[in-house]
Structure 1
Amino acid sequence: MKMAEHPRFHSDESKARIGFTLRHVWRKRLRWKQWGENFILSWSKSIAKAAKDGWTDQQELNWDSYEKLEQEMTGQQLQLAEDKAKAKEMAKKIREKAALKRAEKVAMAKAQKMARLSQKRKEREEKAKARREIKRKTGRKSKKDGELSISQGLKLKRRLTKIHKRKSVNGPVTIRGNLVNSHIPAWEKLDIDLLNKEKVQREVSLADQIRAAKNKRMQSTAKEVLVASSSAHPFSMRCRD
């Protein structure tokens, strides 16, 4: 109780002396332990050597056979692990190769699909272009034909006007309607036929107009002839009387 109530503190010198003593004790104990381990190791080696060599009439034992067996087993395990790693790597390469092949197949199918779509688009564009070209040429031809028809009609009208004037100057028109047409050249008759074909359902042909004018003129001429003949008849009767 007194010691607990009044603890004593060691001085530095006492602490140093106690520490040195403890280190010395532990050093001796460690030395004795090492000596004991060395003795046991030396003793075990001597026993093993004696057991291996045996006496003079005993066969020497294969003392390291277990170690060789252990080495062989370790080598087999290492070889098995290496073979397993190689198989795993090979399977990985096969999977990668298969995946690459599938990706190439998908890419090729996609490229073929895109090529087909592009070809179809090109064909549609070419067909549309051909239709536009045909439509443009047809429109141009129709316009050109129309202009040609108008030009031919005007040209024919001028020719017919000249013919009409020429016939009026050369002499009176006979009663027979075909007499005028007999004086028209063949190429002018061909122009008349062509104009009549193109002006159907559009307006009265120029030939019809000319024919109507000729009929009117022939009617008026016939009337004049009848009048002249009627006036000449009483004059002849008077002469007879």
Structure 2
Amino acid sequence: MSKKEIERRRKIGRANKGKVPWNKGRKHSEETRERIKRRTREALSNPKIRKKMFGSPRSHSDESKAKISSALRSIWEERLKHRRLQETCYLMWQRSIAEAAKEGGHGQQQLDWDSFHKIKAGSVSQQLQWKADKGSAKQIAKLRAEIVARVRAEKAARLADQMDDKEDNTNAKVVEALPQKKSEGERKNVALRKILKLKERLSKFHHRKKQLEKLISSKKKMAISPKRVIEERDVEIIKSEKPQARVSLADQIQAAKIVKAKLASVSIPALASSNIPLEENSSGF
């Protein structure tokens, strides 16, 4: 086996371990690519080779898979570490250049590149100060409210004590002003006096009631129509007179007219005194 073949196989073994491809940095010529395509077509056209490739494929064992994955993991960790170091170095270099540009050289004017950050920091500090002042104002208001509530409670308690003292004084005065208990004899005398006074009032009331009834009855009698009075008088005359002989009808009518005329002359002034209109009285005749 030649040295060239040994080197080729070594590179292929390293590539299989996941380190670097065996042909890294090399490109096939046009003739080589054409030859590879032709040989691949010829090999795939052979049924034995196709059966060998598709019928019984060989896969890696679990041990070889674990080795390959660990090797790849370690390689990529180193690559990422190197890349991060490059990024940090680039950022440090960029920041150093920015700081130098902000400060400027000797005799140059310093520029306010971080004015936005300064304004933001100032606004944040003002907001924090405002919050602190607001919290202190709330605490002061709370303390004031507690003091006012305490003063009001003390005042209410003082007023309640004063009211209790006033009530005690008034109760004592009422107790002093109450009369002492009377004896049984005095109680009976007081009851008798009340009964006598009540009887006197009732008697006066009944007397006045009787007088009013008499007055009302007299007025009613005076207000009776003359026709009714005449009829009553006729009945009385007929009852009082007991004629022995039979009187004619014409004589009775003549006697009734005479009595009617007499009663009419007597009843007219009575009706005038009782405030009854003459027209209503004359309607009864």
Task: Say yes or no: TM over 0.5.
Answer: no
Higher share in helix:
1
TM-score, normalised with respect to structure 1: 0.42
TM-score, normalised with respect to structure 2: 0.36
The structure that has the greater radius of gyration is 2
